[in-house]
Amino acid sequence: MFSAEEIDRLSQEFETKTPQAIIRWAVDSFWPQIALSSSFQTQSMPLLHMTSQIRRDILILFLDTGYHFWDTLIFREQLTSAWHLNVLDLYHDTRWDLFTKQHTRTLPIEDPNLCCFLNKVQPMQNALKDMKAWISGIRRDQTSLRAHAKILEFQADGLLKINPLLNWTKADVKTYAEEHRLPSHPLIEKGYRSIGCAPCTIAVGLNDDERAGRWSGRGKTECGLHTEMFKHREISEIKQGFRLDVSTVK
């Protein structure tokens, strides 16, 4: 539908557009083959709110890793009901059932990269395989890797990744949330400023980076959805980067 040159041009133009304008363009251009991914943490609220106001029935993809805080799951259910959201829960491929059962307690600690690949990267790849566009909530101020992202990014398989909030800061998120009286994840009040899976998330101080509590001390800052890992569909392509042996899983 769009050439690489057109996407580059639009991406530059969108640097000065509002997130709502970018979302409207995305929905108008790719409906119904478009989906939004969300972790349902406090930082996710503005994008969920904007998108639901523009297209209430847009598909929202939620990665149910099996390791979420109960607070996250309850919050997601409450918000889905209150805002009438169209949420689809994603799970790991069933061929990993035995392996994940054998390593349920230890996988996030022993091999967090493998855990993220099985429970986040592969399920998201499968959910997006028939889509033309994917709306993500990443921001440039979150990590050094995300600082180099573009608002529109073609993936290797032709999927267009759209980052409407890329230019926003955490202050912008806070301002929008206050203006629209958006709900907050209950763990925010307990010091969890960026909330992922329970084994890999800790509370942090007020002066710490908001993502400092994610994979603390494990040399990891991203789950893989927004890194080179997402380009690989088969575990055989990147298994050398994992600690646990997965060669017996077919």
DSSP 27: H
List the chain domain ranges: 4-236
Residue 47 has pLDDT above 60, yes or no: yes
pTM of the predicted structure, to 2 decimals: 0.94
Dihedral angle sign, alpha carbons of residues 88, 174, 78, 53: negative
Task: Give one DSSP letter per residue of 48-105, joined into a string.
Answer: HHHHHHH-TT-EEEEE--S-B-HHHHHHHHHHHHHHT-EEEEE---GGGHHHHHHTTT
Residue 19 has pLDDT above 90, yes or no: yes
Among all residues, which ones are annotated catalytic? 223
Q: Mean per-residue pLDDT for 211-235? A: 85
CATH of 4-236, one of 3.40.50.620, 3.40.50.300, 3.40.50.1580, 1.10.150.530: 3.40.50.620
Average pLDDT, the chain: 93
Residue 44 has pLDDT above 90, yes or no: yes
> Is the N-terminal amide bond of 46 cis, ω within 30° of 0?
no
- Which CA distances in Å does 8 have to 5, 46, 143, 241? 5, 25, 22, 32
Distance CA 87, CA 46 (A): 16
- Under the banding of pLDDT at 50, 70 and 90, the label for residue 26 is very high
pLDDT at 213: 87
pLDDT digits (tens, 9 = 90+) for 76-96: 999 999 999 999 999 999 999
CB 139 within 8 A of CB 121: no
Q: CA angle, corner 147, sides to 195 and 141, nearest 5? A: 50
pLDDT at 250: 57
Q: Mean per-residue pLDDT for 146-153? A: 94
Residue 171 has pLDDT above 70, yes or no: yes
Residue, of 72 and 156, whose pLDDT is higher: 72
- Under the banding of pLDDT at 50, 70 and 90, the label for residue 183 is very high
